[in-house]
Amino acid sequence: MLALMLSSYATVDHVLPQSFRLRLGETNADALIMGQGGHVGGVQLGRLSTIIAPIGIPSAPPVSHTAITYQVKDGETLKALAARYNISVSSIRWSNFSALKNTSKDVTSGMKIMIPPVDGVVVTTQTGDTPLGLANTYHVDPSAIVDFNYMRTGEQDPIPTGTVIVIPGGTGATFETPAASSTVIPIAHGGNGGYSVVSVGGSYPVRAGNRFSFGYCTWYVYNRRAVPWLGNAWEWFGQAQAYGYATGQTPRVGAIMVTWESSFGHVAYVESVNAADGSFTVSEMNFVRWDVIDNRTIKPGGVPLIGFIY
């Protein structure tokens, strides 16, 4: 066939499939691939069609669907563990609710805890538990429970007692907050980024539906202005845009400031704006330290700003 093609291309051109045609003045693409190499879709071929780069090689490890039983080591904290496993502190608290339901408690050395592979709740089933019942309890779709845990049962079928399952995206009961305290420590700091501590370890008004972890910036800002999303502080700006909120780079009273002031980002509530110099004052939590509310005056360019949510 090859000899025929080379000697009588004009005749063969009319009777052979397109992939075998060679014409004077042009190089057939399939012949180039077969002889010298090239690309076919996502596959890279060398000379004589040797595969150099096959298609679809995974670049990241697959997502685990199994909870981790972990024994806390000396010096470890909930916040550090949450960062290591890329989940929220609340997910760990909900998965170990009896031991960590009070937000004043942290993990201690030697404690054994369950860590979910994704944001959600680890549950050990009890007699009579079904995917539908657990979905109603933890505010998710029952199909998410069935699919994530590779169940072969229906949504209303009982799950064997004592089964450890993960409820992805689930949210548990409201956490207990520390007892009220009237401690107020005024600290005056001047200059760019100066702040004054308003309250430490106090009892604060909590807006209904607040699912953020107590003592953190997101928990405080939600109490000032409810938002329909979850996630770390740095994600708020993109979340707001996805939900159709107006955003921008100019401070306004009542806006939410989003910055890169920590590895998780930071959010604060804009209390006032000084038109004379463009500075603005925010109230916030967990800027000075955990469970501390402060007021801070910021000059333009004084923070690594992501933006404002209006």
Predicted confidence (pLDDT) per residue in 289-307, tens digit: 888 899 999 999 999 999 9
Round to whole Å and give the CA distance between 190 and 50. Answer: 69
Q: So what's the pLDDT on residue 203?
A: 60
The CATH number of whichever domain residue 92 belongs to comes to: 3.10.350.10
* 205 in the same domain as 155: no
For residues 158-175, give the mean pLDDT: 90
Residue type, 274: N
* 136 in the same domain as 38: no
For residues 50-66, give the mean pLDDT: 65
Q: Is residue 23 in a domain? A: yes
* 82 in the same domain as 49: no
Of the pLDDT bands very low, low, confident and very high (cuts 50, 70, 90), residue 177 is low
Range of the domain at 153: 68-168
Round to whole Å and give the CA distance between 134 and 199. Answer: 39
Of the pLDDT bands very low, low, confident and very high (cuts 50, 70, 90), residue 172 is confident
* 143 in the same domain as 199: no
* 145 in the same domain as 202: no
β-pair partners for 294: 197, 284
* 143 in the same domain as 201: no
| CA 18 remoteness from chain centre | 50
**Structural contact between residues 143 and 155, judged by C-beta atoms closer than 8 angstroms:** yes
Q: So what's the pLDDT on residue 46?
A: 56
Q: So what's the pLDDT on residue 42?
A: 54
What sign does the dihedral 260-263-269-274 (CA atoms) show?
negative
* 35 in the same domain as 86: no
Q: So what's the pLDDT on residue 290?
A: 83
Q: So what's the pLDDT on residue 20?
A: 42
pLDDT(195) > 90: no
- As for how many domains the chain has, the answer is 3
**Which of 150, 168, 186 lies at the terminal end of a domain, its last residue?**
168
pLDDT(23) > 80: no
Give tens-digit pLDDT for 67-90. Answer: 999 999 999 999 999 999 999 999
Of the pLDDT bands very low, low, confident and very high (cuts 50, 70, 90), residue 146 is very high
pLDDT above 70: percentage of residues in the chain: 71
Q: Is residue 179 in a domain? A: no
Picking from 241, 207, 237, 242, the residue whose alpha carbon sits closest to that of residue 224 is: 207
* 210 in the same domain as 243: yes
* 163 in the same domain as 212: no
* 212 in the same domain as 159: no
Q: So what's the pLDDT on residue 47?
A: 56
Annotate the chain with three-state secondary structure: CHHHHHHCHHHHCCCCCHHHCCCCCCCCHHHHHHHHCEEECCEEECHHHCEEECCCCCCCCCCCCCCEEEECCCCCCHHHHHHHCCCCHHHHHHHCHHHHCECCCCCCCCCEEEECCCCEEEEECCCCCCHHHHHHHHCCCHHHHHHHCCCCCCCCCCCCCCCEEEEECCCCCCCECCCCCCCCCCCCCCCCCCEEEEEECCCCCCCCCCCCCCCCHHHHHHHHCCCCCCCCHHHHHHHHHHCCCCEECCCCCCCEEEECCCCCCEEEEEEEECCCCCCEEEEEECCCCCCEEEEEEECCCCCCEEEEEC
Q: What angle do CA 53, 59, 64 make, to 5 degrees?
A: 140
Picking from 164, 146, 148, 166, the residue whose alpha carbon sits closest to that of residue 156 is: 146
Q: Is residue 297 in a domain? A: yes
User: What's the mean pLDDT when you consider all of the chain?
Assistant: 80
Lowest mean pLDDT among 68-72, 194-198, 266-270: 194-198
Q: Is residue 275 in a domain? A: yes
Q: Is residue 36 in a domain? A: yes
* 74 in the same domain as 48: no
Q: Is residue 266 in a domain? A: yes
Q: So what's the pLDDT on residue 208?
A: 83
Of the pLDDT bands very low, low, confident and very high (cuts 50, 70, 90), residue 101 is confident
Q: What angle do CA 182, 213, 221 make, to 5 degrees?
A: 70
pLDDT(35) > 60: no
* 94 in the same domain as 11: no
The CATH number of whichever domain residue 242 belongs to comes to: 3.90.1720.10
Q: Is residue 76 in a domain? A: yes
**Structural contact between residues 116 and 95, judged by C-beta atoms closer than 8 angstroms:** yes
Of the pLDDT bands very low, low, confident and very high (cuts 50, 70, 90), residue 36 is low
Place of tokens 């024994």: 71
Q: Is residue 189 in a domain? A: no
pLDDT(17) > 70: no
Place of tokens 């199994």: 66
Give tens-digit pLDDT for 107-138. Answer: 999 999 999 999 999 999 999 999 999 999 89
Q: So what's the pLDDT on residue 246?
A: 95
